[in-house]
Structure 1
Amino acid sequence: MASFAAARRPFAAASAFSSLLAQPAAAAIAARPFSTTLPQQTKTVKAHRLPDRLIPPYPYGERRIYKQSNRGLYGSARIRFGNNVAEKWGNKSRRFWRPNVHVKSFYLPALDANIKTRLTLRVLKTIRREGGLQEYLLKSKPARLKELGPGGWNMRWLLMQSRAIQERFNEERVALGMEPKPIENRDDVIQYALDFATPGALSMRSRSTLEEIKAATAAQLGAFTLGDLDPADLEGIEELSDEEEARMFRELDLAEAQASKKTKDTVTV
């Protein structure tokens, strides 16, 4: 037994030595910093979710043919229909060609945000040639505005609210000999539009901006009249009260009843 125990001692010493060597590595692994904080995330805005009620209407109107193009940058591409013709017998079968549509995300420096949108390959080629999505959207030629469609028009309007683009347009006005326009602080509106177009609930800042927009819209609308009446002609005329309305209805019903009774008496005679 003593010889057996002596024979096991080298193995025990070796295992103890290996465990000592493994301890610093385990301690180093355990000492690594651990944090539950996620890395800073960037929002990717979906262009088709931008708030339409906040943006002026598209001057050329929505596209009635191939309505999917209203939610992206399709240019002049539309779905096309045609026939497959057999070479041997000349039989025809209907078919269609859809535009070559892709999904792409672009970074807009003026908004400091990523915009994800659907677009055709031809439009993507034009964007690369122009130097980016921002330059593609800001071109003001009528052909480009018609090519943008409602989706591109919304992105263009949002870009034009930023301070950087307002300053850029003022520089162009000064170069043309025109008076520069005052720069407006529209950061809250931009933040609300970007937050609205991003999946998820609105932030506190966006909700407060929405309430301000609603209040301003209600103040601008106010009371209105139908027809061709001039509101100035209504000054001095009291609004019809509920009691007066009920009294006038009773008088009208009484007059109609008397007229009906008189008609019956005439027919009987």
Structure 2
Amino acid sequence: MQYELVNVTYEGDYATITMNNPKRRNALSLKHMEELTAALREVGESTALGVILAGNGPAFCAGHDFADVVDNNLVMVRKLLKVCTTMMDTIQEIPQPVLARVHAVATAAGCQLVATCDLAVASTEATFATPGGKGGWFCTTPMVAVSRNIGRKRALEMLLTGDPIDAQTAADWGLINRVVEPDRLMEEAQRLLEAACRGSYISKGIGKQAYYAQMDLPQQLAYAYAQEVMASTSQLPDAQEGMHSFLEKRRPNFKRP
């Protein structure tokens, strides 16, 4: 598929989706979100083992494109936000680990993107913010993802003040996994993604989806759900191969996608 606002590249076992509208600071217009969702689905159906989400230009992602929102009616704004939610859900629905490689500012729905990805590595030059708290349009949908990454008091500090936090603070608070110098960003992002993609592709895809399914269940229901998933997946060829290889002290031979 041809895209105007995103680039999709494949190298070896991995795919990179790059938001490529630097003049708009990769703002999430309707077209941009539709293309990004399509790109995620394309990669999700590919043989790639893992995915990097990156941004080109002075910003990782500046959030929603206000040009799509200002003076628009309620029906249209609801559509924009529904498309955005579908895009965020797609990140967590595809089987591959998705890692955000954040080189610069990620604000509002851009911060939501980072929080939604399975993993995130940021440059020391990156900053993160939900600036609606000091403006006129509160970051209500970004709040959903951010508050599922960091504690209540820290989430409310970001949401109410709108102040940016630096990359080290984002790591300390649990919004991202790693902080590195800019010249090491690509290397560390790739290293973490490769580590996250070790083992059985099939098992990992089921495990990722099970993680999100159980997250907000009460503990008793979460255990019941996870117990059934784990019991069922014990019958997968890759699960049996992993156990046989361990007992036989040899390297496993897992199926490729």
TM-score, shorter chain, exceeding 0.5 = no
Q: TM-score range by the shorter chain?
A: under 0.3
TM-score for both structures, normalised by structure 2? 0.21
Rg: which structure is higher? 1
TM-score for both structures, normalised by structure 1? 0.21
